Structure 1
Amino acid sequence: MSNEQTVFLGIDAGTQSLKLLAYDAVQKQILHVSAAPLELISRDDGSREQLAAWWLDALRQCMGELPAEIKARVRGIGISGQQHGFVPLNKAGEVIAPAKLWCDTSTIAECEEITARFGGSARCIDAVGNPIMPGYTAPKVLWLKKNKPDIYSELAHILLPHDYLNFYLTGKIFTEYGDASGTGYLNILRREYDRDMLAAIDPDRDLLPLLPPLLEANATVALGQKAAGEFGLPPGILVSTGGGDNMMAAFGTGSIAPGVLTLSLGTSGTLFAHCENPAIDPQGDLAAFCSSSGGWLPLLCTMNCTVATELTRKALGKSIPECEALLEESEPGAGGLQSLPFYNGERIPNLPNARASLHGMTDTNMTAGNQYRAAMEGATFTLRRGLDAFARAGQQFKAIRLTGGGAKSPHWRQMVADVFNLPVEVPAQQEGAAFGAAMQALWACTESGDLPALVNEHLAVDASLGCVPVTENVSAYKALYQNFLDLLGKQYPGIQ
């Protein structure tokens, strides 16, 4: 690595914002972070969409804020993107419809149709590793065919959000196994597109030629001259394959070797860990994804994490510091209040039509502190089901690495430690997905053979933010979690 070009950019295109991080691999220092907000199109039918042009506008804003001195030293770029989105392109490489996102639940009928054609949910899990879920890319493709046939007839390329940003930067169409495994049509067992599943999506058209080639996790593609000129970047920069935001957060939290469990408290909640072999949950709660580091990344995703706390906070008319103070006035169990925080429906458990609800209200427990704690507990209990799923897949852990916006809350960190009965560690680099994308770019550009050693060299844990389970809270939350499961089963029979 030359002394001049030691900077790696990590770009994370999330649901609420696009972030850019510049990391100096020699100084082991984050030099710059910028962010640009993103809008969201929401409709009553469950549609959640964004325009791909918004991502580019946000990227231009963030690149514009990056100092020229740092730009001159960039060696590599890694892209992290929200998973499962569908970006349709025509033959000219133009986006021809809004991108349907991971949180879109308008494709329930399409999921059922694809699953029936393929032979049922159990066969989906056995054959490709995952059931077909609302939010995955596969049903979005069928939705486009059924609802916008004129646009579908122009469809020439099926890209994911991070694929599209890579395409814009390089002029090349490609993807990698991690993000592609969240589409529903990648066979994660054989690590190839599944022709039978593609036929179940559209029996009338061969979709395989529309899919991007799969590159290995440590591959690179040269930055295109057009993008280099637009963003004022020097020649010779390489773009790594990147990956889905959870796959990049695995780099950013150290979940690139077995034994590390990462919990991300973001808009969605995710729980994931690296595995050397496919980890299949027979109940289908655990998504058997590939990683973006060469292995597998079994993962559980919920759609309502900080969504629940933020909606409650806004309804209470409080700031985040005020809500943190309110938690001091409340105890585990929130005075008997129980929240099922399914504001956007839910992915796991698979309840796309569910709605949020609050239970156990009395004239004495409806305090602001109890309401906020109930929202936080409901989101945490929903994620806690993931630990059960990992156990079914034969995995156990000694600690949790916590990331995402919710990890900034001391009360939430302690709640996670108590509910999961595991010590909590917090990486010093808070922008997990963006930092992870920079780490993947560093790995790809340096061709290091020992990825865990490379990541551990650059990843730091902030000991001041860690916490351990409190014995009396663990005991209380064990009973409260069972109460949550009982309530969930009563409200939605068949859900365990």
Structure 2
Amino acid sequence: MYLGIDIGTSSIKVILMTAEQDVLASATAPLEVMRPQPGWSEQDPNAWIAALGGAMDILKRERPAEVAAVKGIGLSGQMHGATLVAKDGAPIRPSILWNDGRSAEEARRLDADPRFHEITGNLVFPGFTAPKLAWVKTHEPDNFAATAKVLLPKDFVRLYLTADAATDMSDASGTSWLDVGKRAWSPELLAATDMDESRMPKLYEGSQATGTLRPALARLWGMAGEVVVAAGGGDNAAAACGVGVTHPGAAFVSLGTSGVVFAATEAFAPNVESAVHAFCHALPNTWHQMGVILSAAGSLEWLSRLLKEPVPDLIGHLGNTPDYPAPVLFLPYLSGERTPHNDAAARGVFIGLAQESDRATLTQAVLEGVAFALADCQAALAAAGTTIPRYLAVGGGSRSKTWLTIMASALNTPIGIPEEGDYGAAFGAARLGLLAAEGGDPAEILTHPPLADTIDPVPALSEAYRDSYERWRALYPAVRDVMR
């Protein structure tokens, strides 16, 4: 048996997987995001430990014999979170999360240093880890001085599980400290933020073992024998392992809280000008490209809270396929934006509101706005030399065929829907746990799931969306200065 643990933004999820890769059980526990100031986003690292304990209690109660047989654990998690720990391993302050925009000025300063582009192959985004440490050094110098290690969220959980300070290449790629082509920490970039390798976790490939579960935890959870803990991956790389997107030509589109267009590549292929993320994958000698938007399903959840109506009911007002684009346009920049704008100050916008605009109009505008933002990501990957013939759909938003029809039509690309099952980041983490514990050929283990359906673009809608997309793209430059 193998466990996959995913430390998300809104919850922790743990799945229990057999050697045949059947998911026997899963458990989740909620997490809260703290927003002490506008544009800030934090979590208490100890809340991740408490949530993991709650999820494990559920699995142990429901499947005690299977939990006892666990031989490998894989980890996945939200990326970029700056988790500062003291010498005793205790968190110094709340973790500064991926969608926190406070370090925009520090990011601009680091991004102006050409070494960051040359060595990482990426822009320095405000959500990345290095500018957050630069912010802490300026605004919280005592916390900076007390920091013994900077860990990413899943790696703080690893520290609890194994007492090892370690991370994987895919998650490390999002720090702005990794030489992504060489798959090694860059002493030069660390020094640029007054850091050094002694304060960084040890690097591993995602399918490698970083240590073993502490005996006290093994006893607590009723596990017998040695339990290997894999390096795992950042949430998107782990999700790619879950759906077999690990070789060139394979891609997925994710509709989680954030949105992602993800394509595996056979080599490190940066293109800084297009604001594409060029990262290491969770497997050796493999890389990937991503376009990332910060509010995908998060935009729909925001509208649901605003209108006080559940998300499925909002989408239900639209029917299966829109006949034509919404007359209202929506920029989904509720938490700023990454690809292609790299603008932490960007904010959401509705335009075209009229007396007849109702909740169905606003819902369709939100779904289309997210689809157009992901079309921006697709265009950015194309500028970086990556053409995507088809996608797999992942994330909570992918359960809506209406949204996927809008998405396929806006992207003008077919989208495959995996058969009913759990193929997300936690599943990918469990697969990496299996590889770390047992070895084996990743090509034979990290396979594509069978498809339940394929959503093809609707030709008339794709044609109509071309005009809507061009008008939508004109919005950001038109309102950018007003947002400041």
In the alignment, does 2:192 pair up with 1:216? Answer: no
- Do the aligned partners of residues 308 and 332 (structure 1) sit closer, same or farther apart at CA in structure 2, a change above 3 Å counting? farther
Q: Which moved more, 1:330-339 or 1:58-67?
A: 330-339
- What does 1:131-146 correspond to in 2, within 5 Å? 131-146=123-138
Shift of 1:200: 1.7
The match for 1:479 is 467
Which residue, out of 346, 349, 353, partners 1:354?
A: 346
Instruction: Please list, as runs of the form range in 1=range in 2, the aligned pairs for 1:101-116 lying within 5 A after superposition.
Output: 101-116=97-112
Partners of 2:407 and 2:160 lie apart in 1 by 39
Q: Which shows bigger deviation, 145-154 or 32-41?
A: 145-154
User: Which residue pairs with 1:181 in the alignment?
Assistant: 173
Distance in structure 2 (CA, Å) of the matches to 1:425 and 1:174? 35
| Shift, 1:124, TM fit | 2.6
Aligned-partner SS, 1:180: helix
Could you list the per-position Cα deviations for residues 207-226 of structure 1 after superposition, in whole angstroms to 9, with x for gaps in the alignment?
22101111133211221212
The answer on 1:91 being equivalent to 2:87 is: yes
Q: Could you tell me which of 59, 63, 77 is aligned with 2:56? A: 63
| Pair 1:170-2:162 in alignment | yes
1:36 is paired with a residue of what secondary structure?
strand
Q: Within 2, Cα distance between the matches of 1:346 and 1:245?
A: 18
Distance in structure 1 (CA, Å) of the matches to 2:350 and 2:36: 24
Alignment partner, residue 9 of structure 2: 15
Give, in angstroms, the shift of residue 296 of structure 1.
Answer: 0.6
- Distance, in Å, in 1 between the alignment partners of 2:164 and 2:37 is 36
Distance in structure 1 (CA, Å) of the matches to 2:297 and 2:45: 24
Deviations, residues 158-187 of structure 1 (Å, cap 9, x unaligned) = 111111111111111111111000001101
Q: Report if the CA contact (8 A) 2:405-2:455 is conserved.
A: yes
Is 1:240 matched with 2:233?
no
- Call closer, same or farther: CA 1:488–1:71 in 2, change over 3 Å: same
Specify the code of the residue in structure 1 equivalent to 2:27.
S
What TM-score results when the alignment is normalised by the length of structure 2?
A: 0.94
Q: Which amino acid aligns with 1:135?
A: G
Contact kept, 8 Å, 1:76 with 1:239, in 2: the verdict is yes
Q: Is the 8 A contact 2:42 2:97 kept in 1?
A: yes
State the distance in 2 between where 1:129 and 1:282 align. 6
Q: Deviation of residue 291 (structure 1)? A: 0.6
Residue 284 of structure 1 deviates from its aligned partner by 4.1
Does the CA-based 8 Å contact 1:264-1:404 persist in structure 2? yes
Does structure 2 conserve the Cα–Cα contact (< 8 Å) formed by 1:425 and 1:461? no
Aligned residue pairs, count: 474
1:317 matched residue in structure 2: 308
1:57 and 1:282 map into 2 onto residues whose CA distance is: 39
Distance 2:359 2:325 in 1: 10
For residues 5-84 of structure 1, the aligned pairs below 5 Å read 7-26=1-20, 28-66=21-59, 67-84=63-80
CA contact (8 A) 1:334 1:371 kept: no
SS in 2 for 1:492: helix
Q: Gaps (5+ residues) in structure 2?
A: none
Deviation at residue 151 of structure 1 after TM alignment = 1.8
SS at match of 2:392: strand
Between the aligned partners of 2:173 and 2:184, the Cα distance in structure 1 is 9
Q: Matched residue of 2:436: which SS?
A: helix
Q: CA offsets, 1:361-404, max 9 Å, x none?
A: 2223x121110010111111111111111111211122111100
Range with greater deviation from structure 2 (381-390 or 327-336): 327-336
Contact 2:263–2:388 under 8 Å retained in 1: no
Q: Deviations over 1:263-295 (max 9, x none)?
A: 110111111111111121241411111111121
The farther-off stretch of 374-383 and 309-318 is 309-318
Instruction: Choose which of 274, 278, 293 in structure 1 pairs with 2:283.
Output: 293
Change (3 A) 1:125 1:284: farther
Change (3 A) 1:332 1:478: farther
Flag structure 1 segments of 5+ consecutive residues without an equivalent: 1-6
In 2, the alpha carbon distance for the partners of 1:169 and 1:184 equals 26
Residues 1:178 and 1:330: Cα distance change in structure 2 (over 3 Å):
closer
- The structural deviation recorded for 1:409 is 0.7
- AA paired with 1:489? P
Once residues 324 and 338 of structure 2 are traced to their aligned partners in structure 1, the CA distance between those partners, rounded to angstroms, is 24
Once the two structures are TM-superposed, the CA of residue 135 in structure 1 deviates from its matched residue by: 0.7
Question: How far did residue 447 of structure 1 move?
Answer: 1.4
- The one of 188, 196, 221 equivalent to 1:207 is 196
User: For the Cα contact (< 8 Å) 2:325–2:468, is it kept in 1?
Assistant: no
Secondary structure of the structure 1 residue equivalent to 2:279: strand
- The 8 Å contact of residues 238 and 424 in structure 2, kept in 1 or not, is answered as yes
AA in 2 matched with 1:482: E
